[in-house]
Amino acid sequence: WEPIRLVRIRQVDRPRRIVLLCDVSQSMQAQATAYLHLMRAFAVRSDAEVFAFATRLTRLTPVLAHRSAEDAIEQATALVTDRFGGTRIATNMQALLASRHRNAVRGAIVVVGSDGWDSDPPEAVAAAMARLRRRAHRVLWMNPRAAAPGFQPTVATMAAALPYCHDLLPADTFSSLAGVVRAVSSTR
């Protein structure tokens, strides 16, 4: 007779969930498509949750999982009705944290792709980012302007968000986007 073991002997390693938020407002027009391609790669390879935002939050995970990158980006573009409009970072982070997808953030690596230009008050951005940081394992912010020589987060909302980010990553070239992938991979 052999006793049945009810306790695991060794820890099971599971990769952390990745949640990506992409700013598709007017100020991010030049970077939005490249960011969506990056986020599609995470959705396909890492089972990541992907959202786009400008004035409202749109979940893109199902459409970005399409086999064809061209079709996926085309469907994502059609789904985001507020693309290249204004930006409401705090409003959209609060919407995510109140949505049925809020549990995806718990213990996850959250990547925000935005230049930080926003019409929400800086205090609202700070409050939303503080709440996001409490739930997430790590918060990484990729900013296309962060690679500029002498970059300082002078935009009030970017300055308000920065204390709640574990890393601010430049994201202005394909090489720097590869650096974002390495940063996410190293924190898993």
The pLDDT score that the predictor gives to residue 140 is: 97
Looking at this protein, which amino acid is placed at residue 148? A
The pLDDT score that the predictor gives to residue 167 is: 95
Read off the pTM. 0.89
Looking at this protein, which amino acid is placed at residue 114? S
Distance CA 16, CA 29 (A): 30
Half-sphere exposure of 93 (CA within 13 A, CB side): 28
The pLDDT score that the predictor gives to residue 12 is: 66
Helix axes 29-46, 174-186, angle to 10 degrees: 40
Print pLDDT tens along the chain (188 aa): 676 666 666 776 778 999 999 999 999 999 999 999 999 999 998 889 999 999 999 999 999 988 898 999 999 989 998 888 889 999 999 999 999 999 999 999 999 999 999 999 999 999 999 999 999 999 999 999 999 999 988 889 999 999 999 999 999 999 999 999 999 998 86
Distance CA 79, CA 38 (A): 18
Contact predicate 132/101, CB 8 Å: no
Candidates 28, 84, 35; CA nearest to 60 is 35
Contact predicate 142/28, CB 8 Å: no
DSSP state of 25: S
Coil/strand/helix, residue 58: strand
